[in-house]
């Protein structure tokens, strides 16, 4: 099932995170292990990119990357 995201200009004010990121992370990991327990980082990165392109929406790239980089302790340029 594809999820269609609407364009939101004030994205940060719209987001209402549910605090379920730990649960979601566990489910994503379980799904990945079912596919291939030896999946390399390159395949994982390409799969995430395909999800972002096909399902998430280009207008969400910068906010997504900002949060991802922050969670990884990386400086971002968005």
Report the candidate in 47, 61, 52 with the shortest Cα–Cα distance to residue 69.
61
Instruction: Give the pTM.
Output: 0.57
Report the candidate in 29, 58, 24, 26 with the shortest Cα–Cα distance to residue 44.
29
Q: How high is the pLDDT of residue 33?
A: 81
Q: How high is the pLDDT of residue 52?
A: 87
Output the CA–CA distances (angstroms, integers) from residue 39 to 31, 34, 61, 78, in the order listed. 12, 10, 24, 29
Q: How high is the pLDDT of residue 5?
A: 46
Q: How high is the pLDDT of residue 14?
A: 46
* Digitized pLDDT (tens) for each residue of the chain, 78 residues in all: 444 444 445 544 545 556 788 888 888 888 888 887 787 889 888 988 898 889 888 888 888 888 889 988 987 665
């Amino acid at each position: 099932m594809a999820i269609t995201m609407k364009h939101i200009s004030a994205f940060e004010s719209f987001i209402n995170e549910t605090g379920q990121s730990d649960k979601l992370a566990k489910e994503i990991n379980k799904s990945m292990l079912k596919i291939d327990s030896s999946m390399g980082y390159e395949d994982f990165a390409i799969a995430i990119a395909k999800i972002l392109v096909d399902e998430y929406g280009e207008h969400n790239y910068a906010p997504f990357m900002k949060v991802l980089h922050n969670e990884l302790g990386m400086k971002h340029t968005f």
